[in-house]
Structure 1
Protein backbone atom coordinates (compact mmCIF):
# COMPACT_ATOMS: atom_id res chain seq x y z
CA UNK A 1 0.00 0.00 0.00
CA UNK A 2 2.78 2.43 0.85
CA UNK A 3 4.47 1.64 -2.48
CA UNK A 4 1.27 2.56 -4.30
CA UNK A 5 1.12 5.89 -2.48
CA UNK A 6 4.78 6.55 -3.24
CA UNK A 7 4.31 5.88 -6.94
CA UNK A 8 1.18 8.01 -7.06
CA UNK A 9 2.96 10.93 -5.45
CA UNK A 10 5.88 10.57 -7.87
CA UNK A 11 8.30 10.45 -4.94
CA UNK A 12 11.69 9.01 -5.74
CA UNK A 13 12.79 5.75 -4.20
CA UNK A 14 15.88 5.67 -1.99
CA UNK A 15 17.75 3.91 -4.83
CA UNK A 16 16.79 6.67 -7.27
CA UNK A 17 17.87 9.36 -4.82
CA UNK A 18 21.16 7.54 -4.19
CA UNK A 19 21.85 7.22 -7.92
CA UNK A 20 21.11 10.91 -8.46
CA UNK A 21 23.26 12.03 -5.55
CA UNK A 22 26.07 9.77 -6.77
CA UNK A 23 25.83 11.33 -10.23
CA UNK A 24 25.81 14.82 -8.72
CA UNK A 25 28.88 13.97 -6.64
CA UNK A 26 30.64 12.59 -9.72
CA UNK A 27 29.83 15.80 -11.60
CA UNK A 28 31.26 17.86 -8.74
CA UNK A 29 34.44 15.78 -8.70
CA UNK A 30 34.81 16.14 -12.47
CA UNK A 31 34.29 19.90 -12.24
CA UNK A 32 36.91 20.12 -9.50
CA UNK A 33 39.40 18.07 -11.51
CA UNK A 34 38.78 20.23 -14.57
CA UNK A 35 39.33 23.38 -12.52
CA UNK A 36 42.56 22.00 -11.06
CA UNK A 37 43.81 21.01 -14.51
CA UNK A 38 43.00 24.47 -15.86
CA UNK A 39 44.78 26.06 -12.90
CA UNK A 40 47.89 23.97 -13.63
CA UNK A 41 47.78 24.99 -17.31
CA UNK A 42 47.49 28.67 -16.41
CA UNK A 43 50.28 28.39 -13.83
CA UNK A 44 52.55 26.75 -16.41
CA UNK A 45 51.77 29.50 -18.94
CA UNK A 46 52.52 32.15 -16.31
CA UNK A 47 55.80 30.45 -15.36
CA UNK A 48 56.82 30.30 -19.03
CA UNK A 49 55.91 33.95 -19.55
CA UNK A 50 57.90 34.89 -16.44
CA UNK A 51 60.94 32.95 -17.67
CA UNK A 52 60.70 34.72 -21.04
CA UNK A 53 60.46 38.08 -19.28
CA UNK A 54 63.55 37.31 -17.20
CA UNK A 55 65.47 36.23 -20.32
CA UNK A 56 64.55 39.42 -22.15
CA UNK A 57 65.38 41.71 -19.24
CA UNK A 58 68.72 39.95 -18.75
CA UNK A 59 69.56 40.51 -22.44
CA UNK A 60 68.76 44.21 -22.10
CA UNK A 61 71.05 44.52 -19.06
CA UNK A 62 73.99 42.99 -20.94
Structure 2
Protein backbone atom coordinates (compact mmCIF):
# COMPACT_ATOMS: atom_id res chain seq x y z
CA UNK A 1 0.00 0.00 0.00
CA UNK A 2 1.34 3.42 -0.92
CA UNK A 3 1.61 6.29 1.51
CA UNK A 4 -0.92 8.98 0.70
CA UNK A 5 0.66 12.30 -0.23
CA UNK A 6 -1.33 14.15 2.45
CA UNK A 7 0.05 11.75 5.09
CA UNK A 8 3.60 12.16 3.78
CA UNK A 9 3.40 15.95 3.99
CA UNK A 10 2.25 15.86 7.64
CA UNK A 11 4.92 13.50 8.93
CA UNK A 12 8.44 14.32 10.04
CA UNK A 13 11.02 13.36 7.43
CA UNK A 14 14.41 11.88 8.16
CA UNK A 15 17.20 11.93 5.60
CA UNK A 16 18.77 8.68 6.77
CA UNK A 17 17.69 5.40 8.28
CA UNK A 18 20.01 6.04 11.24
CA UNK A 19 18.27 9.34 12.05
CA UNK A 20 14.85 7.67 11.90
CA UNK A 21 16.01 4.81 14.14
CA UNK A 22 17.39 7.25 16.70
CA UNK A 23 14.11 9.19 16.77
CA UNK A 24 12.08 5.99 17.10
CA UNK A 25 14.32 4.76 19.92
CA UNK A 26 13.78 7.98 21.88
CA UNK A 27 9.98 7.94 21.57
CA UNK A 28 7.64 7.09 24.45
CA UNK A 29 5.77 4.53 22.31
CA UNK A 30 6.99 1.77 20.01
CA UNK A 31 7.69 3.24 16.58
CA UNK A 32 9.10 1.74 13.40
CA UNK A 33 10.81 3.51 10.54
CA UNK A 34 10.03 3.00 6.88
CA UNK A 35 11.15 4.46 3.58
CA UNK A 36 8.40 6.54 1.98
CA UNK A 37 7.52 5.70 -1.61
CA UNK A 38 6.44 9.31 -2.21
CA UNK A 39 9.37 11.41 -1.00
CA UNK A 40 12.09 8.76 -0.69
CA UNK A 41 12.90 9.75 2.89
CA UNK A 42 12.17 7.94 6.14
CA UNK A 43 9.07 8.37 8.32
CA UNK A 44 7.98 6.79 11.60
CA UNK A 45 4.83 4.77 12.23
CA UNK A 46 3.26 2.96 15.15
CA UNK A 47 1.36 0.60 12.85
CA UNK A 48 2.49 -3.01 12.72
CA UNK A 49 -0.36 -4.68 10.85
CA UNK A 50 1.00 -6.37 7.76
CA UNK A 51 4.55 -5.29 8.47
CA UNK A 52 7.31 -7.85 8.59
CA UNK A 53 9.75 -7.58 11.44
CA UNK A 54 13.28 -8.29 10.23
CA UNK A 55 14.84 -11.38 11.73
CA UNK A 56 17.76 -10.67 14.03
CA UNK A 57 21.13 -11.25 12.44
CA UNK A 58 23.14 -14.07 13.93
CA UNK A 59 26.82 -13.31 14.19
CA UNK A 60 28.99 -16.38 14.36
CA UNK A 61 32.57 -16.37 15.49
CA UNK A 62 35.42 -18.35 14.03
CA UNK A 63 35.15 -22.11 14.47
CA UNK A 64 37.43 -23.47 17.15
Task: Compute the TM-score of the two structures, normalised by the length of structure 2.
Answer: 0.20
Q: Which structure dedicates a bigger proportion of its chain to helix?
A: 1
More relative contact order in 1 or in 2 (CA 8 Å, sep 6+)? 2
Q: Which structure dedicates a bigger proportion of its chain to strand?
A: 2
* Structure of larger gyration radius: 1
Task: Compute the TM-score of the two structures, normalised by the length of structure 1.
Answer: 0.21
